[in-house]
Amino acid sequence: MGEQHVPIQSFETHPDRYRHWKLSFDGAVATLAMNVEEDGGLSDAYPLKLNSYDIGVDIELADAVMRLRFEHPEVKAVVVTSLKDRIFCAGANIYMLGMSSHPFKVNFCKYTNETRLGMEDASEHSGLKFLGALNGTASGGGYELALACDDILLIDDGNSAVSFPEVPLLGVLPGTGGLTRVVDKRKVRRDHADFFSTTAEGVRGKRAVQWKFVDEVVPRSKWTEAVRRRAAALAQQSTRPGSGPGVPLPPLQPSIDGNVFHYRHVTMSLDPVRRQAELLINGPTEAAPRDGAAWLAAGADAWSLRAFRELDDALLRLRFNHLELGTVAVKTRGDAALVKAWDDALLGARGHWFANEVLQLVKRTLKRMDVTSRSFIAVADEGSCFTGCLLELALCADRCYALADPDGKVTVRLTGMNAGPLPMGNGLTRLQTRFLGEPGAVEQALAHKEPLASEDAEKLGLVFAAPDDIDFPDEVRLCLEERASLSADALTGMEASLRFAGPETLETKIFGRLTAWQNWIFTRPNATGEKGALTLYGKPSRPEFDLRRC
């Protein structure tokens, strides 16, 4: 197969333009039904048979989950099912994976993981519950999609099964957290999980329930009623408002001027020659909403929502379309006092469903930055406003340089946003992760309620260095240039290892352990070599494995 890398033109869509999903509503229950168009892939080089998916299918899924959270507060439970008879989902399209470039494979798996974690986040933090209604076989990524749901029903028709065929058929791993969710989330016994993951046909019927791979199997004659019953039970567990109005999410529509992407609050500038990029995030210019009703009135134009939606879109464009730009300077501009006011207002209104959704989106965007394989260097210079939620960008970064300014114009400032509402995937705040062995340092930093001069921020450990105006430009330049000269592979591994100190969670296992192993396995000849299993899938030749363990 010839290696392909198809640039993604947009990560935005709308239900009116979905090709692969149908979203419908019945009171407190929504149905998200998969019906993948075979000829609807991002490339015409592979058909999307049996509800198999490429990144375009997942972009629609991510959009649907986001819109359910923001636009449909009346929905309390979502039924995820298929419109195809006897097939739920065959997982990621194997031919697409086989012909994709290595970076695309890894980024594809990372994106699908983030989408499914977004479903689990919606359940935990928004009360939006998900029922996987498997009306047919769910293989590989199809079963991984079901695993992201709160409950799983499987039709009992003597044929439909759940399976992970990746190891026996393709020589790779389930790429969207399946192994981790099976044992950590569903608490499947290790020997049962071992059998399941090495048996291509998977399990069905009573065994699937007894081994905890699904919650219930239902005969076809009772299927519709069982789905209705189970969805209603999940809706009863929900904390959602149960009524509208929702907040429509308009397209972001950045203007593109050569290598510069202009959003309303974010500007992304690309420098292919230096293999660098710059992300500039502008703070708010208007007064913050006073309460939940005012947040709802501000809607999608609220700075906290719009700015972080734009940052999220920019990060995805960097990941998929600008692979050689490995170093990113992160800057902010604006009024630090206004940023604090918006942080305080959002935290004060978080009991309102919409304000809570805005807060959760800020959290998820910062998590996206945490697991993006780029070197982030925060630059706090004159005019910057690294305060609260924007200070989290500097804490996400691998280093932060702050200009020592005798006039006190360059400061950083902590707010309530830095004290818990925006945790990392390890369950800790970025301050707690930064000072893992020094809990007193976290309390000391948070005790400072006023803006901190750069030198004071350096003493507290909030920034890496605070050079004066003579040394600052050269230190920043040398850091960026040195970073761009190092091995991209080594930097990716180093940064991922250093960013997640502390406890291991399902999320850090997926992005640390799984991504590392899958990244390695995708380059091994047993999977993608000339005679590898993924390369030869669908061909008459059998794979030849290097049987040495290493």
Task: Return the residue matching tokens 């940023």.
Answer: 339
Q: What is the mean pLDDT of residues 63-92?
A: 97
Q: Do the bridges between strand 216-219 and strand 255-257 make them parallel or antiparallel, or are there none, so unpaired?
A: unpaired
Please, are residues 122 and 155 in contact by the beta-carbon 8 Å criterion? Answer: no
Peptide bond into 289 cis (omega under 30): no
The dihedral region occupied by 472, where left means phi > 0, alpha psi between -120 and 50, and beta the remainder, is alpha
- Judge whether 15-237 and 255-491 match in fold: yes
Q: What is the DSSP string of 300-357?
A: GG-HHHHHHHHHHHHHHHHHHH-TT--EEEEEEES-HHHHHHHHHHHHHTTTSHHHHH
pLDDT in tens, 337-388: 999 999 999 999 999 999 999 999 999 999 999 999 999 999 999 999 999 9
- Percent above pLDDT 90 for the chain: 93
Confidence grade of residue 513 (pLDDT, cut at 50, 70, 90): confident
- Percent above pLDDT 70 for the chain: 99
pLDDT in tens, 475-503: 999 999 999 999 999 999 999 999 989 99
Euclidean distance between CA atoms 91 and 105, whole angstroms: 14
Q: Which two tokens stand for residue 407?
A: 């006039």
Euclidean distance between CA atoms 114 and 89, whole angstroms: 19
pLDDT in tens, 233-270: 999 999 999 888 999 999 999 999 999 999 999 999 99
4 or 277: which carries more pLDDT confidence? 277
pLDDT higher than threshold 50 for residue 1: no
Q: What is the mean pLDDT of residues 506-515?
A: 88
Domain ranges of the chain: 15-237, 255-491
Q: What is the mean pLDDT of residues 53-62?
A: 97
Q: What is the pTM of this model?
A: 0.96
Instruction: Give the pLDDT score at 515.
Output: 81
User: CA torsion, points 503, 458, 378, 451, in degrees to nearest 10?
Assistant: 100
Confidence grade of residue 9 (pLDDT, cut at 50, 70, 90): confident
Instruction: Give the pLDDT score at 4.
Output: 62
pLDDT in tens, 517-536: 888 899 999 999 999 999 99
Domain 255-491, architecture per CATH = Alpha-Beta Complex (3.90)
CA angle 220–223–224, rounded 5-degree value: 130
pLDDT higher than threshold 80 for residue 3: no
pLDDT higher than threshold 90 for residue 163: yes
Q: What is the mean pLDDT of residues 17-42?
A: 97
Task: Return the residue matching tokens 């080089």.
Answer: 45
Q: What is the mean pLDDT of residues 380-402?
A: 98
Question: Domain 15-237 classified CATH 3.90.226.10?
Answer: yes
